Copies of this chain bind each other. A is one copy, B any other.
Amino acid sequence: MKTKATIQDIADRAGVSISTVSRVLRGSAPVAENKRLAVQEAIATLNYQPNLFASSLASGQSRTIGILTQDISSPVLDLMLRSVLQGLDQSDYAPIIADGYWQAQREQAAVQLLLNLQVDGLVVVGGSVPEPFLHQVAERLPLMVIGRNLPTLPDHCLYLDNFLGGYQATRYLLDRGHTRVVHLTGLLSHVDAQDRKQGYLQALADAGIAYDPALVVQGNFLEQSGQLGMEMLLEAGVNFSAVFAANDQMAFGARLSIGTAVVCPRMCR
Give the B-binding residues of A (Cβ under 8 A).
1, 49-54, 56-57, 62, 64, 71-73, 75, 78, 81-82, 85, 94-99, 101, 109, 112-113, 115-118, 139-140, 252, 255-256, 258-260, 269
Contact = CB atoms under 8 A, between A and B. Distances in A.
A1 B57 CA distance: 18
A1 B140 contact: yes
Nearest to A258: B259
A57 B85 CA distance: 28
Contacts of A52: 53, 116-118
A145 B51 CA distance: 25
B73 A99 contact: no
Contacts of A81: 99
16 contacts: A49-B115, A49-B116, A51-B116, A52-B117, A53-B57, A53-B62, A71-B78, A71-B82, A72-B73, A73-B73, A96-B96, A97-B97, A97-B98, A256-B256, A258-B259, A259-B259
B98 A96 contact: yes
A1 B135 CA distance: 13
- Give the 10 A-B residue pairs with the shortest CB-CB distance, closest first: A97-B97, A72-B72, A52-B116, A53-B53, A73-B78, A259-B259, A53-B57, A94-B113, A258-B259, A53-B56
B49 A112 contact: yes
Contacts of A256: 252, 255-256, 259
A22 to B, nearest CB: 16
Contacts of A95: 98-99
A50 B67 CA distance: 21
A26 to B, nearest CB: 15
Contact of A255 (B49, B85, B99, B259): B259
B101 A99 contact: no
Nearest to A113: B94
In this complex, which of A64, A71, A99 has the most chain B Cβ atoms within 10 angstroms of its Cβ?
Answer: A99
Nearest to A114: B96
A252 B227 CA distance: 12
A269 B260 CA distance: 8
A85 to B, nearest CB: 6
In this complex, which of A85, A96, A139 has the most chain B Cβ atoms within 10 angstroms of its Cβ?
Answer: A96
A85 B100 CA distance: 10
A207 to B, nearest CB: 28
